Chains A and B, each alone.
Chain A
């Protein structure tokens, strides 16, 4: 158990809808990262937050947004969903040292039908 909690584990929705993925980082971790993994693909970095503020942005679509709350949990909002948004979404956390590994949650499997 990594200590990173993601909910829900599975999400099935329709095109055009909006969903929210939730992540609770490990206790004490200040940084939260979001990644998207499409079928048989590598991990695409979406966005990073550090202590409530956006730190780095990757290939995140404008239809997607995220935030980190004062209690350090984070939410990833996906709107106007398309079939191609179907993927495994990972949240990861660490204290933010550059030599620190990321601790990954078990992911949210999103299926857009």
Chain B
């Protein structure tokens, strides 16, 4: 069974600094996808970034990048130049290609950006 672990319940970062949110996963599949979502206080789930298990380069989307270390089974989210609007819950998720194909989420990390 797939398992996603986010070990940081809460994180603080100073505005304009970079922050790394940790995510490790456990799977026996070779083919899977990793996702990060943001949930602001308003409650909606906002997709941030995707990394495929066969992608050789780390994914980047604007200020978001995914530090993918396949051997360590980690998929950390890096947010550069933090903004006050980045304050939110962040969820890591994984989807195995051949096993059930549903998407499972970690417990989340609450990020607070300080002015």
Contacts and interface: CB of A to CB of B under 8 A. Distances in A.
Interface in B23-50: 31-33, 35, 37, 43-45, 47, 50
A107 interface: yes
A43 B33 contact: no
Interface residues of A, number: 23
A43 B95 contact: no
A101 B50 contact: yes
Chain B interface mostly helix, strand, loop or mixed? strand
A55 B31 CA distance: 18
Interface in A89-110: 90, 92, 96, 98-99, 101-104, 106-107
A55 B107 CA distance: 24
A32 to B, nearest CB: 11
A30 B106 CA distance: 25
Interface of B: 31-33, 35, 37, 43-45, 47, 50, 52, 91, 95-97, 100-108
